[in-house]
Amino acid sequence: MADMGLDGHARRVLVVGAGIVGLSTAWFLQEHDVHVTVVDRDGVGSGSSWGNAGWLSPGLALPLNEPGVLRYGIRSLLDPAAPLSVPATLDPELWLFLARFAAHCRWGAWNRAVHANLPLNTACLDAFGLLAKGGVETTMVDAPVTALFRSPGAATGLVRELRRVTRSGLHVDHSALTGDQAREALPQASEHIGAAVRLDGQRYVDPGTLVRNLARSVLERGGEIRGGFEAVDVRAGGGTVVTTSAENEPLPADAVVVANGAWFGRLARALGVRTQVRAGRGYSFTVPTREPVPGPVYLPEARVACTPYQGALRVAGTMEFRPPDTAPDHRRVEAVATSARSYLSGVEWDGRTDEWVGPRPVTPDGVPLVGATRVPGVYVAGGHGMWGLTHGPVTGRLLAEQIATGERPEELRALDPLR
């Protein structure tokens, strides 16, 4: 029988997934004196946590289902080099997901998603601050995000979107720059840049190092982390939740948190979660630069994010709807480099290293899944799309509070996995 506290709440919790969301949940559970064991089929940060752009940017953590994305997506189906890639497949589950996503590409649905994500965006940086205060070296750097455009007219779409977000209740400190002002602030802005938008109050991290440091802190505080455990079933009975591996190894606990990212779909139906989670795979690579890059760079027209990374520049982009374990398509890397090349100068594009693909867990309505499932004692934390890093620690803090106290925080109401 698992060890329950005198108050009847969980004292031993198993977390499935050793990415930023799972490890953050484990760390904040430890703040409530809960013993945690984290399991992962591969190891720490092996999913989408390692190679992402590393932005902590509440001002840009926006739902994917903006209406313009639907028009862009239809055009992209005819362009094999487009940032959005959908395979020619007969997979009915994928096409059902895409149909549901398309149905949510309306301003009403987008606004609902913005409001649902608002509590995460409002508190995400504070949650990183709590990690730092607790001894985790977050590698966090304060820096504006500079969005580059070919013309002033092209910048108006982002400005309008930021104004909509501000009306939702999240203030985004931003300012418009001319092309010359952009080049003065950012040496890498090329001669083709005609306008820019600067977002102040943003931050970035080295995501791989952050996740390793977070895992080390969980271990130092008495937690356990195991690789080589692929969860295939989670069942509750008699006050205990048992998670079973692919090798039929059972692990009992008072409660289980499923935070396995794009692989969540394999457990969703058994947990009563009807909202699909699909892998929206992103690619990244690292390139040398002639001068240091002062901060993150956003290329909205190319749908590319760039970040200072270990003395070089990490370049990330594309949204590829393929199964999470599919082999990388190196043509996608070339497409990202080609689309970004004209916006930036002083970048050694032929010196690419660290080519990587990671499956980001995407929901059709742009809203994460965080909270209790239909199976008693089983919770889910995922579906953050491209913003799992930004929202990971605050998600972990809120879900840990729910598990440890038995009371769901109001901030999680709109993220109900059973919606």
| 8, pLDDT greater than 80 | no
* Cβ pair 14, 253 in contact under 8 A: yes
For the chain, the distance separating the N- and C-terminal CA atoms, rounded to the nearest angstrom, is 32
| 239, pLDDT greater than 60 | yes
| pLDDT, tens only, 57-87 | 998 998 988 887 766 666 655 565 666 777 7
| 89, pLDDT greater than 90 | no
Give 157-225 as a DSSP string.
HHHHHHHHHHHHT----EEEEEHHHHHHH-TTB-TT--EEEEE-S-EE--HHHHHHHHHHHHHHTT-EE
| 5, pLDDT greater than 50 | no
Collapsing DSSP to helix, strand or coil, 298 comes out as: strand
* Cβ pair 259, 150 in contact under 8 A: no
Collapsing DSSP to helix, strand or coil, 305 comes out as: strand
138-153 exposure pattern, b = at least 16 Cβ within 10 A, e = fewer? bbbbebbbbbbbbeee
- Mean predicted lDDT score pLDDT of the chain: 92
Q: The dihedral of CA 76, 79, 83, 86: what is its sign?
A: positive
Domain 64-106+140-202+278-362 has CATH 3.40.50.12780: no
Chain Cα centroid distance, residue 364: 15
Please compute, for residue 4, the number of CA atoms within 13 A of its CA located in the half-sphere on the CB side: 15
Average pLDDT of the segment spanning 206-216: 97
* Cβ pair 166, 172 in contact under 8 A: yes
Q: How many CB atoms lie within 10 A of CB 163?
A: 12
Tell me which of 83-92, 235-244, 306-315 is least confident.
83-92
User: What pLDDT sits at residue 404?
Assistant: 95
| 123, pLDDT greater than 70 | yes
| 39, pLDDT greater than 90 | yes
User: What pLDDT sits at residue 90?
Assistant: 74
* Phi, psi at 4, each rounded to 5°: -95, 145
- The pTM (predicted TM-score) of the whole model is 0.93
* Phi, psi at 203, each rounded to 5°: -145, 170
Collapsing DSSP to helix, strand or coil, 129 comes out as: helix
| pLDDT, tens only, 263-308 | 998 899 999 999 999 999 999 999 999 999 999 999 999 999 999 9
Q: Any idea of the CA torsion for 301, 305, 307, 310, to the nearest 10 degrees?
A: -130
| 34, pLDDT greater than 60 | yes
> What are 300's two structure tokens?
């909205």
* Chain position carrying tokens 């491209």: 386
* Cβ pair 42, 358 in contact under 8 A: no
User: What pLDDT sits at residue 76?
Assistant: 59
Average pLDDT of the segment spanning 158-175: 90
Q: How many CB atoms lie within 10 A of CB 210?
A: 27
Average pLDDT of the segment spanning 144-159: 96
Please compute, for residue 266, the number of CA atoms within 13 A of its CA located in the half-sphere on the CB side: 17
| 122, pLDDT greater than 50 | yes
The fraction of the chain above a pLDDT of 70, given in percent, is 95
| 2, pLDDT greater than 50 | no
> How far is residue 296's CA from residue 229's CA, in Å, rounded to a whole number?
36
> How far is residue 138's CA from residue 45's CA, in Å, rounded to a whole number?
14
Which are the contacts of 324, defined by CB distance < 8 A and separation ≥ 6? 47, 261, 262, 263, 279, 281, 359
User: What pLDDT sits at residue 68?
Assistant: 78
DSSP structural state of residue 328: P
* Phi, psi at 82, each rounded to 5°: -70, 155
User: What pLDDT sits at residue 73?
Assistant: 60
User: What pLDDT sits at residue 112?
Assistant: 95
User: What pLDDT sits at residue 3?
Assistant: 45
The fraction of the chain above a pLDDT of 90, given in percent, is 82
Average pLDDT of the segment spanning 181-187: 96
